[in-house]
Structure 1
Amino acid sequence: MRANRIIAVIAILILLGILGYGLKLAFEPKEKLLQGQIEAREYNISSKVPGRVEQVMVRRGDKVAVGDLLYAINSPELDAKLMQAEGGRDAAKAMQQEADNGARQQQVTAAKEQWLKAKAATDLMATTYQRVENLFDEGVVARQKRDEAFTQWKAAQYTEQAALAMYQMADEGARVETKAAAAGNARMAEGAVKEVSAILADSQMRSPKNAEVSEVLLQAGELAPSGFPVVSLIDITDAWAVMQIREDQLADFKQGQTVALTIPALKVTEDFTIAHISVMGSFATWRSTESGHDFDMRTFEVELRPNRPIADLRVGMSVLLSVN
């Protein structure tokens, strides 16, 4: 009988101990897991040139280096514009060269011959006038004849001066202003060629970074509008973790703080530094607080950067953070 009482007391004590431990667990703060994911810098490679995709040199998962050709776009309209611009440049350069070189040698020679011809005619008319003047003084010819000879001599002088001016103009070449205008037109035409060439160069799209091809949105033969991304790249060396934190938990997170995040896919725990904290948009980020509070809590986005490169890290991998 006494033994039964002892066993009953022990059973009661054990039961009380279990109940006490259960109450302790029930009221102890529980460890919580916050989940986020890995993101990385993404580049959408698009062209200013609308046209048909001529060829795509990459596939999803390919590793590319800076300067590697990703795809090419064929634009017959731009090829025609380049031809027009090159034709205008050639014509402008020819006009500039003509202005710089001046008249052709044959033209200069012809102008000189015309001047010499006019000069010979002037000399002849001067001699003729002098003879008529002498005869007039002797009373052999009338005043009318002398006046006619004088007029012909003066006309010959004017003709000689005009011929000399034409010869000098041909010999000197174009005016300074004409040369400057021709040079300006040549530069303007050269700029038009460079403009079209720059746009055409943008149809051969190359990688701006050492990265990995994440998406190929168009294939050869498909039409690519201007600015439409044809290839997307991900730079996994520029990766970070993103977590959404409720407002009442934000006090545990400070910019510059280092925390340990577990990456289940890699079965590793790595140190990350909180780089940025920002409030998310007001849509779907409000949450009612527990009873006794008269405000709603918002959600904040926390960006965490790894303290060292992590091998085999991929975009979309989950990260876990234990908090009390």
Structure 2
Amino acid sequence: MKNLYGIMFLSIFVSCTNQVKEKPIEGKVEREQVTVVTKVPGKIDKIFVAEGDFVHAGDTLAILSIPEVDAREEQARGALQSANAQYNMAVKGATKGQLLQLQAKVDGLKEQYEFAKKSIGRLEVLLQDSLIPQQKYDETYAKYQGAKNQYLAAQAEMAEARGGARLEQQIMALGQKERALGAVSEVDVAAKEKFLIAPQDMSVETINLRVGELAMAGYPIFNGFLNQSTYFRFTLPENKIGKLQKDGVVEVEIPYLNHRKMKAKIISIKALNSYANIASAYPDFDPQQAVFELKLVPEDVAESKDLLTKTLVVLHAN
């Protein structure tokens, strides 16, 4: 009889030990990440946040020290001031003092021209009466033509001074001014890059540099999570995917919060890459089974905002 009881106990023990407990479907709490990088090289001058802080879009996270930008700004603004003066001079023409000098020059040449005109008129009468030689008349006529041409040239110079430079010169001066404006705008853009701004509402996860350290262009200074982007990620073999469908609502369990449960919606089911003839690179799954990634979002966003990223979650698929 004792042997019979022993055999029954042994069979029950072996039966229990042969039962393999099914492993729960485990995943992770995830959030979308954002990285703040530098566009121009510079040293970290000030940092206004700490790891774990929550910041709003537009908040200043840090300030860079970029002496080269300050030097380029002075050069660009000096070039703009010079180009602006050149353009104004080309458009407005001569100054008031220059106009007075030109007017005096015109008046003086006018007097010489009128005197020469009167002289040639008198000599014409004398020449007709043969009272002067032809040579004398020709010399006076040459002086008359010279005075006339100088007077006309002075009038043209006066008109140009009052009307400004020729159109081609004005266009050239305008081009130089616009080029200087472009250089100033470029420097202004570079100067704004001294301020590292939060692109969205986010929680600062890591700060990769400290005050005084050099940040090269494109270096990630801050990494953070978007708090409103909480989702759950699970990896499942194909033999467990059948009961789950896109847009379906399931229940997930949060072990670290005393096994709290919440509803979540399946928003994507994506097949993961295979390797040669091995469908799964995961040691826990059959190598010949395809593996899928599930992405779920909590139905109550407010309930999930305080969940810790990368913590364990368990999927309950009915």
TM over 0.5: yes
Could you say if the C-alpha distance between residues 287 and 204 of structure 1 is closer, same or farther in structure 2, counting changes exceeding 3 Å? closer
Aligned to 2:267: 275
- What TM-score results when the alignment is normalised by the length of structure 2? 0.87
Assess if the C-alpha contact under 8 Å between 2:38 and 2:218 holds in 1: yes
Deviation at 1:167, TM superposition (A): 1.2
Aligned to 2:156: 165
Aligned runs of 1:35-74 on 2, under 5 Å? 35-74=26-65
* 2:140 counterpart (142, 149, 155): 149
Read off the aligned partner of 1:306 and give its amino acid letter.
Answer: P
Could you say if the C-alpha distance between residues 205 and 311 of structure 1 is closer, same or farther in structure 2, counting changes exceeding 3 Å? closer
Aligned runs of 1:274-293 on 2, under 5 Å? 274-283=266-275, 285-286=280-281
Aligned to 1:79: 70
Deviation at 1:319, TM superposition (A): 0.6
Sequence identity percentage: 26
Aligned to 1:126: 117
**SS class of match (2:246):** coil
Matched, 1:322 2:316: yes
CA deviation vs aligned residue, 1:54-101 (integer Å, no higher than 9, x gap): 111111111212222111111111211112111111111111222222
* Cα distance in 1 for residues equivalent to 2:17 and 2:223: 51
Aligned to 1:218: 209
Deviation at 1:244, TM superposition (A): 0.7
Read off the aligned partner of 1:253 and give its amino acid letter.
Answer: L
* 1:179 counterpart (170, 184, 194): 170
CA deviation vs aligned residue, 1:105-131 (integer Å, no higher than 9, x gap): 121222222222111111111111122
Assess if the C-alpha contact under 8 Å between 1:53 and 1:72 holds in 2: yes
Deviation at 1:260, TM superposition (A): 0.4
**SS class of match (1:265):** helix
* Cα distance in 1 for residues equivalent to 2:308 and 2:147: 97
**SS class of match (1:297):** coil
**SS class of match (2:273):** coil
Deviation at 1:37, TM superposition (A): 0.4
Read off the aligned partner of 1:39 and give its amino acid letter.
Answer: E
CA deviation vs aligned residue, 1:166-203 (integer Å, no higher than 9, x gap): 11111211233333332332222122211221122122
Assess if the C-alpha contact under 8 Å between 2:113 and 2:147 holds in 1: yes
CA deviation vs aligned residue, 1:11-53 (integer Å, no higher than 9, x gap): 99xx69x979x979978x9654110001111111111011111
**RMSD (CA atoms):** 2.8
* Cα distance in 1 for residues equivalent to 2:87 and 2:15: 99
CA deviation vs aligned residue, 1:231-278 (integer Å, no higher than 9, x gap): 111122211111111123222222111110101011311111111122
Read off the aligned partner of 1:322 and give its amino acid letter.
Answer: H
Read off the aligned partner of 2:64 and give its amino acid letter.
Answer: I
Assess if the C-alpha contact under 8 Å between 2:54 and 2:201 holds in 1: yes
* Cα distance in 2 for residues equivalent to 1:301 and 1:160: 93
**SS class of match (1:181):** helix
Read off the aligned partner of 2:289 and give its amino acid letter.
Answer: M
**SS class of match (1:35):** strand
Assess if the C-alpha contact under 8 Å between 1:118 and 1:159 holds in 2: yes
Structure 2: gaps spanning 5 or more residues: none
Aligned to 1:5: none
Read off the aligned partner of 1:300 and give its amino acid letter.
Answer: F
* Cα distance in 2 for residues equivalent to 1:313 and 1:287: 27
Aligned runs of 1:224-239 on 2, under 5 Å? 224-239=215-230
* Cα distance in 1 for residues equivalent to 2:112 and 2:195: 70
* Cα distance in 2 for residues equivalent to 1:235 and 1:56: 20
* Cα distance in 1 for residues equivalent to 2:11 and 2:28: 40
Paired residues, what number?
307
Structure 1: gaps spanning 5 or more residues: 1-7
